[in-house]
């Protein structure tokens, strides 16, 4: 049999549980299902699984944040917190994530800010242990299997061996959002679900940087980290580090407040968050007047980069020490718009809460569940993103397992 383009098409293959997407959400759903004796096939479009997960681990894999569940869950916005059982009822918050990782034989440490990392920092040892566990549970991984929609009641895939059709009893979708599309999450799935009645909010960048048209004076600072400052935007605040690049500003400190900036809030930088305006004004007043403006700022602020930011975003600089201190404490963050999805760490938007049951089943497609960045939620970096994907994958896997209760092999 061949399709309209002449590609060979195999007859539909029956499978119990089909997972589409081998990122953290899909792999967690597979573990839940296989752990209950259900036959699981994972279809992954890329040559290898979990590419974005591995990329995130290159600079240190931040697994979760060691804080109480209420504080942790408060950092999420969008569909998931409105879904009963997302974190609290299913009990898969930071404590459970840490226990699960240790169960894979990976030692952890908690940094001074509460962020949790593998001792080796990288994601590859964890992924290898996880894939070995899944293989031991009988999970079948099929790479270079790209989902291309439906053919009648079957799920259609393009593979190296032509078009293949699968007829699953339950499906968990872990196809990702729309950020870093070169790693596999290109949101090509939107029209196939939308035409079946699934409501999908447009994707927007999340955990992204902002473009800045720097003056030539900033060139020497490209690649340097901004430390010891505070950012505020709307109700959000951050004391994290961020980086000045030729394109603009990026990094964890910016990501913590980027959602508010993206949505129109004015952002400010406090260049001396540990000093009051009066204390800073006194330091400016005491700085030797024989020094150039730049050297006076560097001496008082203790950092050439912070001084450069004040001169870049604060001109014309006031001469009065009190006014200068006030400016340094409330420096406007001037930018030229958010960086796009191609550079964003994650994305906001996706399948809306109205289209989901409490178990993350698609109301329009009974037996089909969705997890991870496909769903309309966002959270800052710092362990929230990965925990969110793992928790939603677990919840979707549990929902699929419940639906397959009659076919579980004991």
Rounded to whole angstroms, the Cα distance separating 181 from 391 reads 23
Residues of the chain with pLDDT under 70: 1-10, 57, 80-91, 406-410
Task: Pick left, alpha or beta for residue 176 (phi over 0 → left; psi -120 to 50 → alpha; otherwise beta).
Answer: left
Helices 384-403 and 94-103 cross at an angle (nearest 10°) of 80
Of residues 401, 406, 405, the one with CA closest to residue 369:
401
Per-residue pLDDT of 85-118, as tens digits, reads 555 445 688 999 999 999 999 999 999 889 999 9
Rounded distance between C-alpha atoms, residue 256 and residue 260, angstroms: 9
* Residue 216: partners with Cβ closer than 8 Å, 6 or more residues away: none
Contact 16, 168 (CB under 8 A): yes
**pLDDT of amino acid 5:** 57
**The predicted structure's pLDDT at residue 149:** 97
User: pLDDT tens across 164-221, in order?
Assistant: 999 999 999 999 999 988 888 889 999 999 999 999 999 999 999 999 999 999 999 9
pLDDT at position 407, please?
A: 47
CA dist., res. 111 & res. 359, Å (int): 33
Distance CA 355, CA 313 (A): 44
Q: What is the residue extent of each domain of the chain?
A: 13-205+346-407, 210-332
pLDDT at site 406: 45
pLDDT (0 to 100) of residue 382: 87
CB-based contacts of 41, cutoff 8 Å, min separation 6: 15, 17, 18, 19, 139, 140, 142, 166, 168
- Residue 408 has what pLDDT? 45
Assigned token pair, 360: 């993350």
| Tokens encoding 347 | 């994305």
**13-205+346-407 homologous superfamily:** FAD/NAD(P)-binding domain (3.50.50.60)
369's tokens: 């569940």
The confidence score (pLDDT) of residue 57 equals 66
- Please provide residue 117's backbone torsions phi and psi, each rounded to the nearest 5 degrees: -130, 155
């Amino acid at each position: 049999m061949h399709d309209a383009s002449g590609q060979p098409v195999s007859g539909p293959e029956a499978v119990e549980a089909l997972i589409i997407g081998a990122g953290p959400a899909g792999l967690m759903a597979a573990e839940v299902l296989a752990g209950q004796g259900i036959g699981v096939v994972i279809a992954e479009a890329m040559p290898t699984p979990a590419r974005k997960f591995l990329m995130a681990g290159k600079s240190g894999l931040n697994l979760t944040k060691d804080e109480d569940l209420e504080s942790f869950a408060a950092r999420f916005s969008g569909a998931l917190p409105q879904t009963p059982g997302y974190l609290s009822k299913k009990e898969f918050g930071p404590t459970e994530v840490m226990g699960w990782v240790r169960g894979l034989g990976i030692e952890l440490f908690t940094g001074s800010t509460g962020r949790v990392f593998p001792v080796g920092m990288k994601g590859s040892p964890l992924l290898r242990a996880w894939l070995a566990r899944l293989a031991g549970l009988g999970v079948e991984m099929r790479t270079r299997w790209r989902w291309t929609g439906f053919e009648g009641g079957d799920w259609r895939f393009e593979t190296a061996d032509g078009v293949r059709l699968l007829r699953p009893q339950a499906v968990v979708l872990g196809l990702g959002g729309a950020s870093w599309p070169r790693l596999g999450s290109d949101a090509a799935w939107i029209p196939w679900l939308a035409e079946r009645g699934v409501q999908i909010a447009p994707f927007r960048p999340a955990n992204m940087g902002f473009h800045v048209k720097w003056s030539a004076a900033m060139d020497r600072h490209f690649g340097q980290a901004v430390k010891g400052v505070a950012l505020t935007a709307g109700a959000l605040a951050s004391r994290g580090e961020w980086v000045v690049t030729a394109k603009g500003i990026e990094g964890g400190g910016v990501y913590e407040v980027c959602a508010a900036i993206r949505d129109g809030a004015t952002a400010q930088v406090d260049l001396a968050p540990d000093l009051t305006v009066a204390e800073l004004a006194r330091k400016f007043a005491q700085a030797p007047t024989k020094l150039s403006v730049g050297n006076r700022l560097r001496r008082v602020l203790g950092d050439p980069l912070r001084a450069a930011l004040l001169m870049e975003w604060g001109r014309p600089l006031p001469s009065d020490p009190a006014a200068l201190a006030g400016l340094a404490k409330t420096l406007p963050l001037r930018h030229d718009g958010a960086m796009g999805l191609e550079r964003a760490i994650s994305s906001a938007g996706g399948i809306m809460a109205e289209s989901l049951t409490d178990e993350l089943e698609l109301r329009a497609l009974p037996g089909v569940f969705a997890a991870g960045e496909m769903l309309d939620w966002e959270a800052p970096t710092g362990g929230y993103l990965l925990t969110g994907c793992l928790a939603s994958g677990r919840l979707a896997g549990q929902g699929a397992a419940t639906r397959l209760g009659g076919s579980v092999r004991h």
